Amino acid sequence: MASEQPILKLEDVHTYYGNIHALKGVSCAIPSGDIACLIGANGAGKSTTLLTIFGVQRAAEGKILYKGREIHHLRPEQVAALGVSQTPEGRQIFPRMTTLENLEMGAFLRGDKVAVAEDMEWVFSLFPVLQERTRQLGGTLSGGEQQMLAIGRALMSRPELLLLDEPSLGLAPKLVEKIFETILEISKSGVTIFLVEQNAHMALSISNTGYVMETGRIVLTDKASDLLQNEKVKKAYLGE
């Protein structure tokens, strides 16, 4: 159950790509233990939001707070060390490393070997196919297996906050269902999840809170279940 204290808070965040004003005053708060999703059209700024939280893109203005601590000035490896992990859009696994090596890379900041081994077993319980593919090169896995590997690698850092960018992109419907079932399982383990997803219906179906983004601004915030019934959201994002 989500607590009231936000694990992640964005306050009037602005991000630029050169002269392009990508995020225009984004504010949101995600309670610890929540699943929150950010939906919107392509190019709305959803991925930029996650990249800015993780420190890949630098916030030009505003504040990003993780567990009450300002992190907008930190580098990605510093953000990761605090307990934040990200699966980037397009998976970005290491294609010339084996499945096992990819997973081990997710735990490179950790020195607790026993706990790392336990987390490896947990990842294999979530994605049994990865255990069958431990010696296979990441680049030879199917798209669905690569997505599972990207999520598994992110979990190997034992994050408290998981940023998921388009986990269903390019996957067959049956695999999409599997991925979203697993996201729910991960949430039950106590990990807070901030999800960016083109499949708005699936994202809202598993989330507690939903944010709708248009051209770099969050234009709507509500319970995800209420956004599923919102006429504007239905028309614009749910194909109804």
**Cβ–Cβ < 8 Å for 95, 172:** no
Q: Is the pLDDT of residue 2 over 60?
A: no
**Cβ–Cβ < 8 Å for 9, 36:** no
Nearest one of 75, 157, 54 to 109, comparing CA atoms: 157
- Mean model confidence pLDDT for the chain: 93
Residue 4 pLDDT: 63
**Least confident span in 7-11, 143-147, 221-225:** 143-147
* Dist. CA 239–CA 226, nearest whole Å: 16
Q: Is the pLDDT of residue 7 over 50?
A: yes
Q: Is the pLDDT of residue 90 over 80?
A: no
pLDDT class of 63 with cuts at 50, 70, 90 = very high
Distances (CA, A) of 137 to 107, 130, 167, 235: 18, 11, 20, 42
Residue 1 pLDDT: 44
Q: Is the pLDDT of residue 78 over 80?
A: yes
Q: Is the pLDDT of residue 17 over 70?
A: yes
Q: Is the pLDDT of residue 240 over 90?
A: no
Q: Is the pLDDT of residue 3 over 70?
A: no
Place of tokens 């893109």: 57
The rounded percent of the chain whose pLDDT value lies above 70 is 98
**Cβ–Cβ < 8 Å for 46, 38:** yes
Q: What is the pLDDT of residues 125-173, one digit of tens each?
A: 999 999 999 999 999 999 889 999 999 999 999 999 999 999 998 888 8
**C-alpha radius of gyration, the chain, whole number:** 17
Place of tokens 């601590």: 69
Residue 239 pLDDT: 76
Residue 195 pLDDT: 97
pLDDT class of 46 with cuts at 50, 70, 90 = very high
**Least confident span in 28-32, 79-83, 209-213, 235-239:** 235-239
Q: What does the pLDDT average to over 116-128? A: 95
- Class of domain 1-83+160-166+192-240 as given by CATH: alpha beta
Element (H, E) at 212: strand 209-214
